[in-house]
Structure 1
Amino acid sequence: MVLFGCDFSSAPTARKPIVIAVGELAGADRVRLTSLQRFATLQAWGEWLCATPSWTGGFDFPFSLPRELVEHLRWPLQWKPLMAHYASLSRAEIRETFAAFCAARPVGGKFAHRATDGPAGSSPSMKWVNPPVAYMLHAGVPRLLAADARIPGLHAGSGADRIALEAYPGLLARELIGRRSYKSDDLQKQTSERHAARADLLAALEAGTTRLGLRLSITKPQRAELLADARGDDIDAVLCLLQAAWGLQRADSPGPGHGLPESVDPLEGWIVSA
């Protein structure tokens, strides 16, 4: 069983790849980082998912849309048909449809939210800018389905060898360092203050001072690599790895398992550990 966290991009490149933090449970309270892997294309990432026979992964992109939005648009109310319909749309069609929905709503309530957004502090999955999570959903979920992943609470799949959990690194990062910014894609904003925030975040992860009850185990070179990544993609993948490990420990919990609420909406899904 491969355990990993995935920092995702809907348009990866060699300079801004999809990052996979591979790790393993080492005892009841420790997660050891074993490697960081990078994929410059969606195809290469999807092929890796299909070629890896058994895994549990935490993925930093939304797995579904808000029920309120889906009902308003009269799209399918079952998750798999909804995803098939969504995948059939172009990004331009998604943007136009969601922009029209927002334009008809009052200031302060433009976006519809999933139930998990509140406790997770996550962006609404219909946002198409800053961050473009609607496009990440559009690019990511079809490849999870192509890998025949089981998505607890949403999709049974045909086997139990690949488990996809929706993760959100910001949830864990805020618990440890509050609202301090620890990353930026903008070179001018890759400051010493953000470097210090990454150092504090890593120190807290290694000390295990989170409600997940897990400590991160990394080598000195790995620590240096994580600190040096001013974009924060590597640390985000590690944060998702820890959330995936927490879910794996609770694979047999009641309801959909993996620590997800028993009452999770089967259309919207849930962010692991939220």
Structure 2
Amino acid sequence: MAVTIETDHLKAVLNEKGAELASLKRKDNDIEYIWQADPAYWKRHAPVLFPIVGALKNGTYTYNGRTYQLPQHGFARDMDFELLEQKADAVSFRLQSNTKTKEMYPFDFELIIGYALGGDGLTVDYQVKNLASEAMYFSIGGHPAFNVPIDDGLDFTDYYLDPSPMKSRINLSLKDGLIDLDQRTLGQTNTTIALNHELFKNDALIYETKGLNSFTIRSDKSPHLVSVSFKNFPYVGFWSTYPQKSPFVCIEPWAGLADAFDTSGKLTEKLGIQKLAAYDTFHTKYAIVVK
């Protein structure tokens, strides 16, 4: 089922399946900023990545001596969430551990995803609750895809990525879906990055982040833009398909990463893993601004 929230200026549509953002529009220009999941390119809009981000080596991990299988980016994006609370301009969804999740992931958890409209954008709020008496290990991230070009009559290459603050960040390379730590470099995010499809020929661009960050997709040929800002996500990914030239770009705040090539396979030692104490709550959020 789809849920619509709106203000005088904005309208958003959320799906209960995956608690996924499916549409975000300004009412003054009726521009759709969210990719509309054309399966000819990519069938998703903005999936929630949980309880892992990226791929596991060989699709498996071990915990307490047992081996588990998880698909890339985890299971939350394909599960039906419960509609927890709905207001005119905000909505929240809940997913709790169950028999099916425990076949893949042995922890007792509650995941609450909240969406709230305000000003020129949408805030996406993540709460992960550990419901058990032992520590919980997880990753979580966003994967929103934005239409590029934003404006009719413009081209993908008319746009660029504008980082803030403009400073160099550590770039993490992917090879066959895994992080190659030997190929870490200093990424040149101290300037704008012109968008072209070849940027994604080696999969996603991934950077380490610290503090407050924002990344904006804009064009000098248009006043319209989309920006993603966040503080408590240690990584960000940028992705589009290649060699297929898709008309979207994802800006992905992550609290987690794909496995490294030299992973031990133990969940407790996984690259970028978050550790949540017994009965504790992890809370973070990011914001999307559209103009």
- TM-score when normalising by structure 1: 0.32
Could you say which structure has the greater relative contact order, defined with CA pairs below 8 angstroms and 6 or more residues apart?
A: 1
Structure with the larger strand share: 2
Higher helix share: 1
